[in-house]
Amino acid sequence: MTWFTVDTRYVDDLDRLNAVRPAHRDYLRPMVEAGNVLAAGPWADGTGGFVILRAADRAELDELLAVDPYTLENVAASRVIREWNVVMGTPAALD
Domain boundaries, the chain: 2-87
Tens digit of each residue's pLDDT (9 = 90 or more) over 43-88: 999 999 999 999 999 999 999 999 999 999 999 999 999 999 888 8
Three-class SS state of 1? coil
Q: Give, in words, the CATH class of 2-87.
A: alpha beta
Q: Is 0.95 surpassed by the pTM of this model?
A: no
Three-class SS state of 28? helix
Asked whether the beta carbons of 20 and 75 are under 8 A apart, the reply is: yes
